[in-house]
Amino acid sequence: MAKKMHDTPMLDQLESGPWPSFVTGLKRLAKDNDMTVDLLGQLEASYRDTKGYWKGGTVGVFGYGGGVIPRFTELKDESGKPVYPEAAEFHTLRVQPPAGMHYDTKTLRWMADVWEKYGSGLIAFHGQSGDIMFQGIKTENVQPAFDELNEAGFDLGGAGPALRTSMSCVGAARCELSCFDEARALRTVINNNLDDMHRPALPYKFKFKFSGCGNDCVNSIQRSDMATIGTWRDNIQVNNDLVQAYYKNHGMTDLVNDVVSMCPTRAISVVKKADVKAGEHTSVADLGDGNAMCIDNKNCVRCMHCLNVIPGGLLPGKDKGVTILVGGKGVLKIGATMGTVVIPFMKLESDEDFEKLNDLARNMLDFFAENALEHERTGEMIDRIGLVNFLDGIGLEIDPNMIIHPRMNPYVRTDGWDEEVAKAEERKNAAAA
């Protein structure tokens, strides 16, 4: 073992400086791992030539059509032989992490041992879709490495035109802003639809992400086809002692500048305590100096800003649930799009609620599978067919919370107006019932 190291003058420059160096890590592996010796050789060549030298291919495990990212070197000599033969095959296993990315050291050490045995010893925690990426393995080792990981309770993630590995925030495990059980929601939706992950047959990728509140720590609106985000319907809860503790430290200027004036809907006001108009929808915090802070919950959009500034003093309400948005995606091909609200609020507490979320997810996947064009994301499909047709197909009712403002042009045929008004009345009556 321990092939001679290649000269890597450019990569060597990434060993200095205060941030942990992946190059130093690779060199440590290379001491007794020839694949990493050659990986460093190829990587240096990429740095030298400003050029990537990997191509894809087909590598997998028995029973699955995805989850392995095949990489073969394109850096060959005149006779067609790889310049860096030990890294000529350098595949990645995408493995789904525990929801919320929690680990004990026993599990991490075991993963390191498995990857030292079968692969290069290089692992990323985590890829942009949330997978643990076990990087650098030869084709012949892929199956035994997967078998060992799989027997211990770990499964491959998604790749290609498939349901992708999901992410949820730390949420209920350690955050007072969490509005639902993010890990349970993730595991309900993903683990009931694994066929679409392991056997890629969708028009293109489909991502679910789960964030416990509007701070959206896993970027669900921007990065997922269906975002589940925690919210609440009732009033912001007030812990008066903690609000006063904030006020004592920060004073009126910070309260006004950092909290009141930064509320996007101007729903917060500071009034004389004697002038407080208590109301069913008003949260009141007594500031202890004759003033009070009032929040008009009917006008609050649950943006999370004031809860972030006064942690624990202001908390989500008790009537918690989720908002569902659909159609977030990256650049290709129409430009990046944010998700759009399709369900303003649904409860997510009981077994039946989770069943409903699961049905909704399945419905989204089915509609996508049947209606999207090849290589089209859900956001692009909605762009093409229109939100109303999409909602019709999914079986969801329209709601003014889905738009920022109504149509700005008259280019629409409205001869069904009276029927639509009747439907609006029906929806109103159904909501009141």
Partner 1 sequence: MAGPRHPIESGAPDPMPLMHPVMKKNYGKWVFHSHPKPGVLYHRAESGDEIWTVKAGTQRQMDVYTIRELCDIADKYGEGHVRFTARSNIEYMVADQSKVEPLIKALTDAGYPVGGTANSVSMIAHTQGFLHCDIPGTDASGVVKALMDELYEEFVKCEMPNRVKLSTSCCEINCGGQADIAIIMQHTKPPKINHDLVANVCERPAVVARCPVAAIRPALVNGKPSLEVDEKKCICCGACYPPCPPMQINDPEHSKIAVWVGGKNSNARSRPTFHKLVAAGLPNNAPRWPEAAAVVKKILAVYKADARPWERMADWIDRIGWPRFFEKTGLPFTKYHIDDWRGHRATFNASNHIRF
Largest CA-CA distance found in the chain, in angstroms, rounded = 89
* Position 10 contacts partner 1 (CB under 8 A): yes
Of these, 5, 124, 271, 424, which contacts partner 1 (CB under 8 A)?
A: 124
Output 106 or 277, the one with its CB closest to partner 1. Answer: 106
* Position 103 contacts partner 1 (CB under 8 A): yes
Output 98 or 276, the one with its CB closest to partner 1. Answer: 98
Site for partner 1, residues 401 to 430, rule: CB under 8 A: none
For residue 48, the Cα-to-chain-centroid distance in whole angstroms is: 35
Cis ω before 126 (30° cut-off from 0): yes
* Position 186 contacts partner 1 (CB under 8 A): yes
**Which stretch, 102-110, 270-278, 291-299, 391-399, contacts partner 1 (CB under 8 A)?**
102-110
Spatial CB neighbours of 106, under 8 Å, sequence gap ≥ 6:
none
Site for partner 1, residues 19 to 58, rule: CB under 8 A: 19-23, 25-26, 28-29, 39, 43, 46-47, 49-56
Closest CA to 222 of 328, 376, 340: 328
Site for partner 1, residues 78 to 97, rule: CB under 8 A: 90, 92, 96-97
In whole angstroms, the minimum distance from the beta carbon of 14 to partner 1 comes to 5
In whole angstroms, the minimum distance from the beta carbon of 392 to partner 1 comes to 24
Output 102 or 423, the one with its CB closest to partner 1. Answer: 102
Here's the x/- map for partner 1, 304-343, by CB under 8 A: it reads as xx--xx-xx--x--------------xxxxxxx-x-----
Site for partner 1, residues 260 to 289, rule: CB under 8 A: 262, 264
* Position 166 contacts partner 1 (CB under 8 A): yes
Site for partner 1, residues 203 to 262, rule: CB under 8 A: 214-219, 221-223, 229, 239, 242, 254, 257-258, 262
* Position 374 contacts partner 1 (CB under 8 A): yes
For residue 81, the Cα-to-chain-centroid distance in whole angstroms is: 41
Distance CA 193, CA 362 (A): 7
Q: Which long-range contacts (CB under 8 A, 24 or more apart) does 178-181 make?
A: 178/212, 178/213, 178/230, 179/212, 179/213, 179/230, 179/231, 179/232, 179/316, 179/320, 179/321, 179/322, 180/212, 180/228, 180/230, 180/320, 180/321, 180/322, 180/348, 180/349, 181/348
Output 271 or 336, the one with its CB closest to partner 1. Answer: 336
